[in-house]
Structure 1
Amino acid sequence: MSSDAPKGACFLFAKSGTCRFGERCKFSHVQNAAGENQDIAAVPAATPPDQAASTSNKKRRLSHSSRRKSASKATIRPTHFDEYFAQYKGFTYDPSESIMLEFYRLCDHYRWDKENPKRKKARERLAVAMAKQFNDIYGTDVNDVNSWRKLCQVLAIDPIPEGLKACRKIVLDTHVNIVDLTDTETTGEAVVLFDSEKQLSEYTKATGKFYPLDEAHAGGLLKFLLRQILNPHLSHRGQGGRRPGRGRGRV
């Protein structure tokens, strides 16, 4: 059987770049001429062979990880917000910002004042996108405990109740803006919780995050939450000062 090692050279070293006999080996430690140990040869002489192998493996892992992330990004489906803003050429949507803040920026971009018919039409389209986005995140079935548990999770409620009634009660006892609940999936920002109705009202007015109360595309869960805003006595709470046709988005 022929060997790739030169005559008088250590066969183990030629094949692997290492030899367990070290300096006591009676054969010459000569690099394989065929280049079978190219990965080791590319590492500086001061780098131990096992470290070189570790470096090579790390590079492969990083490369594999990068490919996986790229593939993952390529399969992400556009959100309803992406599709909404794609209708307006020349405007670049920033998903890290609240949907309402981006809408107001869109209005500034096109110089639409509050009475402009195009602005009103754009607001109606936005309401559809917001309702669909909410439905995608939390579901549409008001009796689905998983939907309420998802809301509890987003509200950072810990521990999350197991039963439907318990989940529903704790969510309805929370002061939070529904626009924020819809935003969080795209912005990555935690929703803001308030201690009182007054604080929530001030926040909503300051940010302009009003949710349309009569959106036809709202699923059963969203409609239930919106009814709590229209009829606060249903959850034994008072709203006070609500603007007609839209709500502060309180749950």
Structure 2
Amino acid sequence: MARKKKTRAIVQEFDAYFGAGSLDDWQRLCRDVGLDGDYSSIAQCRKASIPPTSYGLRTVHVNIHDLLDAVKQGRRPQRFRNAAELAAYTVNNGKIYPKKHAKEMGPVKALMRRIL
């Protein structure tokens, strides 16, 4: 039961953080994960990456739980070099965002990685 509560809380927290999914929301997400740039459309935000590639936010490896904590503290979240490092950290710390709550083409979907 505690696990379901924790899952529900993180989903609600991300939904509250991201809002309705406006351009401002996408721009804030890019800034919060460390993608500095002038993105004038949601499509540009989705394609934003470091280093610039065609994979967009898929190149940014952050734990969603840590992202939300970092935003509350006014800092950037830890970024991992690759999905494997992120997966190990996520599993070891039990900070898994529930896959079934990742909305199609939404920001959570852009940040999700194969963990298990």
Q: TM-score range by the shorter chain?
A: 0.7 to 0.9
Which residue number in structure 1 is paired with residue 96 of structure 2? 210
RCO higher in structure (CA 8 A, sep ≥6): 2
Percent identical among aligned pairs is 27
Does structure 2 conserve the Cα–Cα contact (< 8 Å) formed by 1:152 and 1:167? yes
Correspondence 1:128 to 2:8 = yes
TM-score (norm 2): 0.73
Structure 1 residues 86-127: Cα deviation after superposition (integer angstroms, max 9, x where no partner):
xxxxxxxxxxxxxxxxxxxxxxxxxxxxxxxxxxx1111111
Does structure 2 conserve the Cα–Cα contact (< 8 Å) formed by 1:177 and 1:204? yes
Which residue number in structure 2 is paired with residue 225 of structure 1? 108
Across the aligned residues of Structure 1 and Structure 2, the Cα RMSD in angstroms comes to 2.7
Correspondence 1:148 to 2:31 = no
Cα distance, 1:179 vs. partner? 1.5
Distance in 2 separating the partners of 1:172 and 1:145 = 18
- The number of residues matched between the two structures is 108
Partner SS, residue 172 of structure 1 = helix
Structure 2: tracts of 5 or more residues without a match: 49-56
Distance in 1 separating the partners of 2:3 and 2:105 = 18
Cα distance, 1:192 vs. partner? 1.0
Cα distance, 1:228 vs. partner? 7.0
Asked which structure has the greater CA Rg, the reply is 1
Does structure 2 conserve the Cα–Cα contact (< 8 Å) formed by 1:152 and 1:160? no
Distance in 2 separating the partners of 1:228 and 1:185 = 15
Correspondence 1:165 to 2:43 = yes
Distance in 2 separating the partners of 1:201 and 1:134 = 19
Structure 1 residues 172-230: Cα deviation after superposition (integer angstroms, max 9, x where no partner):
33111111122223344421112211111122123221111224xx7x5796634874x
Distance in 2 separating the partners of 1:210 and 1:129 = 12
Correspondence 1:180 to 2:66 = yes
Does structure 2 conserve the Cα–Cα contact (< 8 Å) formed by 1:140 and 1:222? no
TM-score (norm 1): 0.37
